[in-house]
Amino acid sequence: MRKTKLGHSDLMVSDYCLGTMTYGTQTSEHDAHRQLDMAMDAGINFLDAAEMYPVNPVRLETAGRTEEIIGTWIAAHRPRDMVIATKITGAGSNAVQGGPPISADRMREAVEGSLRRLQVECIDIYQLHWPNRGSYHFRKAWAFDPSTQSRAETIRHMREILTCAQELIVEGKIRHIALSNESAWGLATWLHLAETEGLPRMLSVQNEYSLLCRNFDLDMAEACWNENVPLLAFSPLAAGILTGKYAGNVIPDGSRRSYTPDLGGRITGRVFEAVSGYLAIAHEFGIDPVHMAVQWTLTRPTPTLPIIGATTPDQLAHIIAGSTVSIPDDMKSAIDQLNRAMPMVF
Q: Which residues contact 41 (CB under 8 A, 6 or more apart)?
A: none
| Contact call for residues 250 and 223 (beta carbons, < 8 A) | no
Per the DSSP assignment, residues forming a β-bridge with 87 are 127
Q: Which residues contact 10 (CB under 8 A, 6 or more apart)?
A: none
Q: Which residues contact 95 (CB under 8 A, 6 or more apart)?
A: 52, 58, 59, 60, 62, 63, 89
Provide the phi-psi class of 329: left if phi over 0, else alpha when psi is between -120 and 50, else beta: alpha
Work out whether the CA dihedral 147, 152, 153, 154 comes out positive or negative. positive
Cα-based angle 45, 297, 225 (whole degrees, multiple of 5): 90
Per the DSSP assignment, residues forming a β-bridge with 13 are 4
Does the active-site annotation cover 209?
no
Among candidate residues 23, 53, 209, 278, the one labeled active-site is: 53
By annotation, the residues acting in catalysis are 53
